[in-house]
Amino acid sequence: MYYKTALEKTLVFVENNLMSPFTLEDLSKVNGFSRCHFSKLFHIFTGYTISGYIRSRRLTEAAGMLLESDRKIVDIALDFQFSSQDAFTRSFTKTFGISPAKYRKDRAYIKMLPPIEAEKIIWTYGGREMKPEIVELKKILICGMVYDGKNLNGEIGELWSDFFKRQGEIKHAVGNMKSYGICEPVEENVENLNLDIQNDFKYLAGIEVDSVEDLPSGMEVWEVTHSKYAVFTHIGSVEGLGDTYKGIYSKWLPESGYEAVYEYDFELYDKDFDPNKASSKMYIYVPVK
């Protein structure tokens, strides 16, 4: 289980360097994976993007320092690698719902993020046998509605509900009875871990179109241009999706000879998809080379 060891090394490195600058390339050297592969693996097993986790841990430790010391806020901000007091205040307020100054003054309760312990993460992947089909795709245009956030309260389910109500507004739909759930690449494609930027993930719920003209208000078109995908069939409830993804990224991918690439991955739902049936099928497309 070298992926578990890789995660353990990464978590230890992060904790030891919360007050030091480092890059995603530094993390790749620690865990031995490509940035794309490990970014996805980290997100699947922890629920956080790498930069989001690092930001939250730095903010948590900074919050402790705000109460335990009389150091200036700007000095604490710079110690934890924020570019300025303003950037630190924006991130702190967005994360905890209160400014650093008011938090220090009122000693208010906030929900902090303790270090993730690798040994407490569930590593099983449901006994699923990973046997994908490797396919070559032509360019696909997907039109739909976008969610940008952490999906902590089932917002993506609400997105699909809202989209189905408006699906008929799309004028250039391809009539293949397929819906697509597309994730923006999870890998944070930056040289440095910019703590001034909140890296929530973006997700599009949509259908295929053959034109980018006449878009309904509030909808976008994403263009899937990567050609080579490993396609996995998930059978059963959507509650078991996490196990399937864990199997893909922690078992199949490291052993397959393929490498994940920085492109859109997506889920495809067709006539075989019925969330109320145990025989329901959906298809997971993982971009590889």
The reply to whether 63 and 157 lie within a common domain is no
Structural domain that includes position 237: 133-287
Strand partners, 206: 144, 180
Q: At what angle do helices 85-96 and 50-68 cross, to 10 degrees?
A: 100
Residue 195's pLDDT is 59
The reply to whether 27 and 170 lie within a common domain is no
Question: In a structure prediction context, what are the per-residue pLDDT tens digits for the chain, which is 289 residues long?
Answer: 556 788 888 999 999 999 998 887 788 788 777 666 677 778 888 878 888 899 999 999 999 999 999 999 999 999 999 999 999 999 999 999 999 999 999 999 999 999 998 877 755 544 455 789 999 999 999 999 999 877 767 788 899 999 999 999 999 999 878 999 998 875 554 445 565 655 567 899 999 999 999 999 999 999 999 999 999 999 988 888 888 888 888 778 878 889 888 888 999 999 999 988 888 999 999 999 9
Residue 127's pLDDT is 47
Residue 190's pLDDT is 45
Q: Is residue 124 part of a domain?
A: no
Helices (H), 129-237: 155-166
The reply to whether 95 and 157 lie within a common domain is no
CATH number assigned to the domain comprising residue 153: 3.20.80.10
Burial class for 200, CB neighbours closer than 10 Å (0-12, 13-18, 19+): middle
The reply to whether 140 and 280 lie within a common domain is yes
Residue 285's pLDDT is 95
The reply to whether 113 and 157 lie within a common domain is no
Cα 95 to Cα 89: distance, rounded to the nearest angstrom: 10
Residue 123's pLDDT is 57
The reply to whether 255 and 180 lie within a common domain is yes
CATH number assigned to the domain comprising residue 61: 1.10.10.60
3-state secondary structure of 174: coil
Helices (H), 170-267: 241-247, 253-256
The total number of structural domains in the chain stands at 2
